[in-house]
Structure 1
């Protein structure tokens, strides 16, 4: 006799991008790299000083360029770990391959909001059974 856990269908059959967190992600993915990687006014790109003035203000009054760089690399590392967790959720709950791939990629780029929404959807799907 087959184990009921093995014959159950996955509660997740489609990809759904969570609306919460997208604004924060877009903001962080523009401000942090801009603050971390925009050249200084004394570099060869100094002719772009008017475009880079906000980055200079951020660096002088908020955080240094080095700190922005650290934040950037920490975020990349955390998103990598979060994406592995998302992948484990998808495998454990037998989410279809293409849907799993979409969730994995979304977690790589967006992070926390994606896997939290996936976790919530899995829990609500289990309660409905």
Structure 2
């Protein structure tokens, strides 16, 4: 049986087209909900800036829950980045390409490693 690393090497970094569209809004809402100050600690003119966070906290989730979600996402991104790194090593991607995939997975998460996995599978089908 042939070595999978010789069948589908990854030579270049490719950011998934929908990766940022999924990750940025989610991370923005969660971090905004987790880190926005309470209404009593905000000065008058800044209170309106954090009003949406107060609305989210009062009707959807508490600040503590937003914090838990944020830490869970950070932990999952860490695990996903290890999986991405293992894919890059297994398929003998160059160091800089592996580093880019690792950093992108730490920041964006599953869209990066799903796209990398898809690229590896499509490379195997071509050959």
TM-score above 0.5, yes or no: yes
Unaligned segments of structure 2, at least 5 residues: none
- Between the two structures, name the one with larger relative contact order (CA 8 Å, sep ≥ 6): 2
* Count of residue correspondences: 126
- Residue 74 of structure 1 and its aligned partner are, at CA, apart by 0.1
Residue 25 (structure 1) aligns with: 23
Alignment of 1:49-88 (within 5 A): 49-88=47-86
TM-score normalized by the length of structure 2: 0.92
Unaligned segments of structure 1, at least 5 residues: none
Q: What stretches of structure 1 move > 4 A for 4+ residues in a row?
A: none
* CA distance in 2 between partners of 1:6 and 1:52 (Å): 51
TM-score normalized by the length of structure 1: 0.90
Q: Answer yes or no: is 1:96 the counterpart of 2:83.
A: no
Aligned 8 A contact 1:9 1:94 in 2 = no
Structure 1, 15-24 or 56-65: larger mean CA deviation: 15-24
1:65/1:97 Cα in 2 relative to 1: closer, same or farther (>3 Å)? same
Q: CA RMSD in A?
A: 1.8
